[in-house]
């Protein structure tokens, strides 16, 4: 009998980033993270995802923390573990496209402050919007992982995924991640997809999904059996629901198989014990809504991510038209088709969802068109996988011409201007980047930071306008 080849699956732990972003509105503080780092560092994770995504904005806006300081503290604590971040391509961690010089500088500073693996994605899977970040990561000797935003639709065939994966490998990516942000990837399709990707590229494949639709752990099992190298999981107190499958459960599931992770359940249990009171307290204070812990099968029925569903509900509530909910759900795929079938992930999910709501409540399709819809139809976010509906595009743009180049090609270098604009607040090079991404929020934070140093009582802050004494 031939010997079974061992192929241990790698585990990326998301508890310090995506798990609390998905369940606790990104409110975990650095102070809450630091005491457990020593134990987490002994586990033997493939990597720990601890930065990027919404954590940067949340640090400055809500926690009054410097995100760069958080990264340096985490780096000091994790002596043996690779640190990973999520990066929105040309959008970096903000909500618009930035000039190449800002993207390059952000990558350089992220790696210099301790990031090993940068997971880069684009909401349209337009690989032109990934190029600058990938090149910068290569130059800084970081690991450039490109994440494909997984979605369903006529355009998204196995050949589409194979072709784009090959182009990403040729671009210089070190690995590929299937980013299933809405929990749409079911087990049988995961087998097909991973098998196809493994045939077309030589670089490692990582799987990322959310438990929203209830199939995530089965999808991981099938993905790993088909050859996936790494999976994203979260410590059990902050797992499931809109977060990832539980780390301990997946470790147990692969035990005594060729994919055995070799991770120690006793050590994981101690780490889980640390996060449990954080979860319990969040439930008590209302920060963790029990609703997000359940399974939402509508995600699969309507192919709409969980967060987008709750957005639609609140928009209809504001308009006192909650009875139109199912009409809006039917309108979403139609708008998505008109808009070139983009994956539904930030910001395209908000753009398509809001437009669908407007189309239904105004009683006429595209009577009102949001400026974001116009920007998408104009090509300002990049190229959609299918052409947009020309009639809708004409209606939105009037006489304006759509753009066909990479959107960032239209942006002049902006670092020097930004630096001049915020020079009075600069205490470290990284402050320029914080300001570049979130000018108002960063300025508020810089004022607060200055006030703390001059020992001004924070209670003297004008809490209504969130202004701090200068």
* Domain end call among 290, 323, 350: 290
In a shared domain, residues 63 and 126:
yes
User: In which domain, by residue range, is 123 found?
Assistant: 10-290
Domains: count for the chain: 3
Say whether pLDDT at 462 is over 80: no
pLDDT digits (tens, 9 = 90+) for 86-116: 999 999 999 899 999 999 999 999 999 999 9
- Answer yes or no: do 385 and 453 share one domain: no
* Together in a domain, 361 and 437: no
Q: Tens of pLDDT along 335-385?
A: 999 999 999 887 888 899 999 999 999 999 999 999 999 999 999 999 999
Q: Which of 387, 404, 421 is the last residue of a domain?
A: 404
This prediction has a pTM of 0.92
Average pLDDT over the chain reads 93
CA dihedral (277, 279, 284, 288) in degrees, to 10, reads: 170
Long-range contacts of 246-249 (CB under 8 A, 24+ apart): 247/11, 247/13, 247/15, 248/272, 249/217
Q: How far is CA 182 from the centre of its chain?
A: 11
At which residue do the structure tokens 């001059």 appear?
454
Is residue 147 a part of any domain in this protein?
A: yes
Q: What is the pLDDT of residue 130?
A: 98
Could you give the count of Cα atoms lying within 13 Å of 365 in the half-sphere of its Cβ?
Answer: 12
Residues 277 and 327 in one domain: no
**From CA 291, how far away is CA 23, in angstroms rounded?**
10
Q: Return the CATH number at 125.
A: 3.20.20.70
SS3 content of the chain, % helix, strand, coil (to 5): 55, 10, 35
265 token code pair: 């359940």
Domain contains 298 = no
Residue 296 lies in a domain: no
> Do 38 and 68 sit in the same domain of this protein?
yes
CB atoms within 10 A of CB 112: 15
Domain-located, residue 21: yes
> By C-alpha distance, which of 349, 343, 345 is closest to 315?
349
The CA distance from 13 to 251, in Å, is 12
**Are residues 427 and 323 part of one domain?**
no
Neighbours of 302 (CB within 10 A): 18
Say whether both 223 and 311 belong to one domain: no
Handedness of CA 199, 201, 202, 206 (dihedral sign): negative
Output b/e per residue, 350-388; b: 16+ Cβ within 10 A. bbbbbbbbbbbbeeebbeebeebbbbbbbbebbbbbbeb
* Shared domain check, 143 and 102: yes
């Amino acid at each position: 009998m031939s010997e079974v080849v061992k192929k241990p699956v790698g585990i990326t732990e998301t508890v310090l980033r995506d798990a609390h972003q998905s369940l606790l509105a990104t409110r975990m503080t650095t102070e809450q993270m630091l005491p457990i780092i020593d134990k987490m560092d002994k586990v033997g994770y493939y990597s720990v995802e601890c930065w990027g995504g919404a954590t940067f904005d949340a640090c400055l806006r809500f926690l009054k923390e410097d995100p760069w300081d958080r990264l340096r503290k985490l780096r000091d604590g994790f002596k043996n573990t690779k640190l990973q971040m999520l990066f929105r391509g040309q959008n970096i961690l903000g909500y618009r496209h930035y000039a190449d010089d800002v993207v390059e500088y952000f990558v350089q500073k992220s790696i210099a402050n301790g990031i090993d693996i940068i997971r880069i994605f684009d909401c349209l899977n337009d690989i032109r919007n990934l190029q600058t970040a990938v090149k910068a990561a290569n130059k800084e000797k970081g690991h450039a992982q490109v994440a494909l935003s997984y979605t369903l639709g006529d355009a998204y065939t196995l050949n589409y995924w194979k072709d784009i994966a090959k182009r990403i490998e040729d671009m210089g990516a070190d690995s590929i991640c299937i980013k299933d942000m809405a929990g749409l990837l079911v087990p049988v399709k995961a087998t097909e997809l991973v098998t196809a990707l493994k045939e077309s590229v030589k670089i490692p494949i990582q799987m990322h999904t959310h438990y929203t639709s209830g199939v995530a752990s089965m999808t991981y099992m099938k993905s790993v059996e088909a050859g996936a190298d790494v999976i994203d999981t979260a410590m059990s107190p902050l797992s499931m629901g809109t977060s990832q499958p539980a780390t301990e459960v997946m470790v147990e599931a692969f035990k005594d198989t060729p994919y055995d992770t070799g991770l120690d359940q006793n050590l994981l249990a101690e780490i889980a014990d640390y996060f449990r009171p954080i979860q319990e307290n969040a439930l008590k204070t209302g920060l963790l809504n029990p609703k997000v812990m359940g399974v939402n099968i509508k995600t699969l029925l309507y192919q709409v991510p969980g967060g987008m569903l709750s957005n639609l509900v609140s928009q209809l509530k504001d308009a006192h038209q909650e009875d139109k909910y199912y009409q809006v759900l039917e309108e979403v795929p139609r708008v998505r088709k008109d808009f070139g079938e983009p994956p539904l992930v930030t910001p395209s999910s908000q753009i398509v969802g809001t437009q669908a709501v407007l189309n239904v409540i105004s009683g006429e399709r595209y009577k009102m068109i949001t400026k974001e819809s116009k920007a998408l139809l104009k090509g300002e976010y990049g190229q959609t996988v299918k052409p947009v509906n020309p009639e809708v595009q004409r209606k939105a743009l009037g006489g304006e011409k759509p753009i066909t180049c990479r959107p960032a090609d239209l942006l002049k270098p902006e670092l020097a201007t930004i630096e001049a604009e915020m020079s009075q607040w600069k205490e470290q090079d990284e402050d320029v980047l914080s300001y570049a991404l979130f000018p108002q929020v960063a300025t508020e934070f810089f004022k607060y930071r200055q006030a703390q140093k001059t020992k001004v009582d924070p209670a003297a802050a004008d809490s209504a306008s969130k202004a701090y004494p200068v």
